[in-house]
Amino acid sequence: MSIADHSNLRAQFPVLKREGLAYLDSAASCQKPQSVIDTMTAFYQHDYATVHRGVYRLSQDSTTQYDGVRTKIKTLINAAHDREIIFTKGATEAINLVAACYGNTFFDEGDELIVSEIEHHANFVPWQQLALEKNLILKIIPVLDDGSLDMNAYQSLLSENTALVAIQHVSNVLGTIHPIKEMIQEAHTVGAKVLVDACQSVSHIAIDVQDLDCDFLCFSSHKFYGPTGVGVLYGKDQLLEQMPPYQLGGDMIESVTLEKTTYAKHPMRFEAGTPPIAEVIGLGAACDFVSAIGLDQIAKIEENLLKEATEKLLAIPGVRLIGTAKDKTAVISFLVDDIHPHDIGTVCDTQGVAIRAGHHCSQTTMTRYGVSATARASFACYNNSQDIDALIKAIKHLQEIFG
């Protein structure tokens, strides 16, 4: 992509037209292109009606748009069937759904669950809690100093009692890309199921669930250039078929009598209540946006940004990077001298640079590296060299303030 083309891409994000803003917190939430905003606005202005309920034309048209997004997601991740795509309110709900509906149903006392020590809280706490409730054994994959998983340790943790491996595809703190295909293959050799948290990978890396052979995979719309309030759970057809419903109520019912209720087949069985219709349609527009650019092209843009930002940060005395694995996405956690990350974030904000500071919803990662928090700069396809230069300038200003 040429500089001119990249400028045109950046121009599609209205918020980036704000004077003096360098937005470097896309790992927390991506900004939204005009096409997503326009699609949702047009739906509310011209097409809004509830879905799966009305026989009138407006409702039928709304339903067609809504259901069409399921097909877009299926294509995006190469699922085998539309019915393997479940809409949730986010990745957190998707993981909790699997824990509640699959874990509670099929895991027995003494079964083992495996997670890493650098998981997002959303992919750690539900399994920790399920282990407590059902007397399961929670095993932890240790992480090497560079932020990559200790694969020898992972292999030694697997056993005939392993019921599930739940793993991030990409670390939200360190940017490390984990070898999930290899991990899935090894888990399957002992009969374990695998859930992949793809929140930090789906907008950066092409995903093929059939090639990976993962059993479950989830991601959030708002980290994929789409709106908040909606997420995706992929599950293999035969697994979803076996799982009881997550919530009870409208739209997941097959029939109700005074004596008995039966439930719809998946995916509807897991989508109780009126869904976030406009948000799902906005997610569909985000799929179109990403597809038009191409994930390969997005990866190239972000790879260049990561390289440039890493080199410029390392050139500043007193800057320490946390997470230096060879395979990374464009996420950089760092410390500056003895300055608290909250101070780093605050001073950067005065310079118009928006970065994250804190434990990034992964306190176990902070514990692993012996820190209370880090500053984090994360990039998306709309960032450029000027954003990086603004970050570098802000850090040097920070060092001047703190002497």
Q: Which residues are catalytic?
A: 361
Residue 207 is encoded by which pair of tokens? 């995903």
How far, CA to CA in Å, does 237 sit from each of 123, 284, 359, 396?
22, 22, 36, 53
Q: Report yes or no: 121 and 257 within 8 Å, Cβ to Cβ.
A: no
Q: Tell me which residue has tokens 């940017």.
A: 175
Handedness of CA 150, 154, 157, 162 (dihedral sign): positive
Please tell me the distance from the alpha carbon of residue 234 to that of residue 236, in angstroms, as a whole number: 7
Q: Report yes or no: 334 and 322 within 8 Å, Cβ to Cβ.
A: yes
- Tell which residue, 76, 172, 150, 97, has the closest CA to residue 366: 172
Residue 94 Cα to chain centre, angstroms: 11
DSSP assignment string, 111-146: -EEEEETT--GGGTHHHHHHHHHHT-EEEEE-B-TT
DSSP assignment string, 360-385: TT-HHHHHHHT-S-EEEEE--TT--H
- Tell which residue, 196, 170, 210, has the closest CA to residue 76: 210
How far, CA to CA in Å, does 304 sit from each of 8, 147, 293, 314, 384?
18, 20, 16, 16, 9
Residues 6+ apart with CB under 8 A from 307: none
Report which DSSP code applies to 35: H
Q: Which residues of 52-64 are buried (b: 16+ CB within 10 A; e: fewer)?
A: beeeeeebebbbe
Please tell me the distance from the alpha carbon of residue 232 to that of residue 221, in angstroms, as a whole number: 8
Counting beta carbons within 10 angstroms of the beta carbon of residue 311, is it exposed (0 to 12), middle (13 to 18) or buried (19 or more)?
A: exposed
Q: Tell me which residue has tokens 């719309």.
A: 221
